[in-house]
């Protein structure tokens, strides 16, 4: 499955809320209305799932991983990211 184009959300200073599902069958992003669901195959141990989410989300947004900053939800399923300029 192709990664969805989320470049319309890639505005500096924007905050993006995502719901993460670790240990999924495959990596993918689903966009329904104002909700982003990110599914990653990695396990939620030691921040591995969060790293996978950042990588997948940055690719879909078309920005470098270093511009995505985790604001809230380091160990939670609901995460909030900010896009730095």
Query: CA 36 → CA 4, 9, 23, 29, 62, distances in Å?
Result: 11, 11, 17, 7, 16
- Hey, what are 73's tokens? 């939800």
pLDDT at 1: 59
pLDDT band at 17 (very low <50, low <70, confident <90, very high): very high
pLDDT at 35: 85
pLDDT digits (tens, 9 = 90+) for 56-76: 999 999 999 999 999 999 999
7-83 folds as Conserved Hypothetical Protein Mth637; Chain: A; (3.30.1200)
Domains of the chain, by residue range, sit at 7-83
Cβ(6)–Cβ(29) below 8 Å: yes
């Amino acid at each position: 499955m192709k990664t969805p184009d989320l470049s319309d959300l890639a505005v500096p200073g924007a905050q993006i809320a995502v719901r993460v599902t670790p240990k999924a069958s495959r990596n993918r992003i689903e966009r329904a209305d104002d909700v982003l669901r990110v599914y990653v195959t990695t396990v939620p141990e030691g921040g591995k799932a969060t790293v996978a989410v950042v990588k997948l989300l940055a690719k879909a947004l078309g920005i470098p991983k270093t511009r995505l900053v985790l604001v809230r939800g380091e160990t939670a399923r609901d995460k909030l990211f900010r896009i730095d300029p």
